[in-house]
């Protein structure tokens, strides 16, 4: 049986991340793809439309001495309303899409920790809607408080790299900040604490087993970045070869035919963009689940103490 509240060492945090996906992966990704599927269809339509509009703008502008005519800018100025609406809808979808994908692993683990079984899409979506306002508040709080401090700290460490001491600090600071943020987020959503209460809780949690926690995070980040970079580069080069093959096949230096919008080409570009987005979110989910193993491991002591107190209370009432 999968147990969340259990003390784990560095290797356990990594191993049980993959054990989680072995036990719950089918249901986890089923819900993930159902929810994201709706977002991705809408996002794909918008991306396709934006790419098509840009290709048509280039085509209609024509070529003059192998250079685009200046009326390309006029084309965008005349269609700025459509472009603005599409960009705003795309940004809104990405915002909700991102909030759900970051909160989803936390809400999923919370249901498991509460002893819930056989939960599905409706349960997860209902939990997400309940915390949506909290997520928005947390996002604004992070933007106003966490990121300015983080940027200042990273700039200082970057300058310290010139005297060598900053290099090891950088390898410690990045996973430390990442873990601190995730523990903060887990505490905020899982225990339903206030913003600064969760901040304080995260500080004490990361201090509890600092090197084990940071080491586990660092190794997981390296694994995920390596796999994601390999897949991203593969898709990137596939997209380049498709585009080059299309333009070579339609090359005509004296006309705009070579940049004529093709549904097939635009479709390929859209699919590659969506594939990169969904792969990024899958790897993010794996990383956040790993942070959940760390969170529940650090919380195991206080959870067992709470259960012991409850048992003492029950015995005293007998």
* pLDDT tens for each residue of 240-296: 777 677 666 655 544 445 555 566 777 777 787 788 888 888 888 899 999 988 898
3-state secondary structure of 43: helix
Residue 96, pLDDT score: 79
**Rg from Cα positions in the chain:** 24
* Model pTM score: 0.77
pLDDT higher at 135 or 315: 135
The whole-angstrom separation of Cα 183 and Cα 189 is: 10
3-state secondary structure of 70: coil
Residue 278, pLDDT score: 83
pLDDT-derived band at 163, boundaries 50, 70, 90: confident
pLDDT-derived band at 313, boundaries 50, 70, 90: very low
Residue 247, pLDDT score: 64
The whole-angstrom separation of Cα 20 and Cα 4 is: 10
Residue 71, pLDDT score: 47
Average the pLDDT over 152-171 and give the result. Answer: 75
The whole-angstrom separation of Cα 263 and Cα 271 is: 12
Looking only at the bridges linking them, the beta strands covering 63-64 and 67-68 are antiparallel
The strand ranges marked E within the chain are: 63-64, 67-68
Residue 207, pLDDT score: 85
Token readout for 113 is 């920790």
């Amino acid at each position: 049986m999968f147990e969340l509240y259990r003390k784990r060492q560095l290797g356990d945090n990594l191993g049980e991340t993959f054990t989680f996906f072995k036990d719950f992966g089918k249901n986890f990704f089923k819900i993930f793809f159902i929810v994201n599927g709706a977002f991705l269809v809408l996002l794909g339509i918008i991306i396709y439309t934006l790419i098509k509009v840009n290709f048509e703008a280039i085509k209609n502008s024509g070529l003059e001495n192998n250079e685009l005519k200046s009326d390309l800018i006029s084309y965008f100025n005349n269609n700025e309303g459509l472009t603005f609406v599409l960009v705003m809808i795309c940004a809104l979808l990405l915002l909700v899409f991102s909030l759900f994908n970051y909160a989803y692993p936390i809400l999923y683990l919370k249901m498991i920790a509460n002893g819930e079984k056989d939960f599905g899409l409706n349960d997860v979506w209902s939990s997400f809607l309940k915390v949506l306002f909290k997520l928005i508040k947390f996002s604004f709080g992070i933007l106003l408080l966490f990121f300015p401090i983080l940027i200042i700290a990273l700039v200082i460490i970057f300058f310290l790299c010139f005297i060598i001491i900053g290099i090891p600090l950088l390898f410690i600071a990045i996973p430390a900040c990442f873990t601190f943020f995730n523990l903060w987020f887990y505490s905020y959503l899982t225990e339903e604490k206030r913003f600064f209460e969760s901040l304080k809780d995260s500080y004490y949690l990361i201090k509890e087993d600092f090197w084990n926690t940071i080491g586990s995070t660092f190794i997981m980040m390296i694994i995920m970045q390596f796999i994601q970079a390999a897949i991203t580069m593969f898709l990137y080069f596939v997209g380049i070869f498709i585009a080059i093959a299309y333009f070579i096949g339609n090359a005509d230096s004296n006309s705009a035919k070579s940049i004529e919008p093709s549904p097939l080409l635009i479709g390929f570009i859209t699919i590659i963009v969506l594939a990169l987005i969904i792969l990024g979110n899958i790897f993010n989910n794996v990383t956040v689940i790993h942070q959940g193993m760390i969170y529940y491991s650090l919380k195991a002591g206080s959870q067992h103490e709470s259960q012991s107190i409850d048992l003492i209370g029950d015995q005293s009432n007998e």
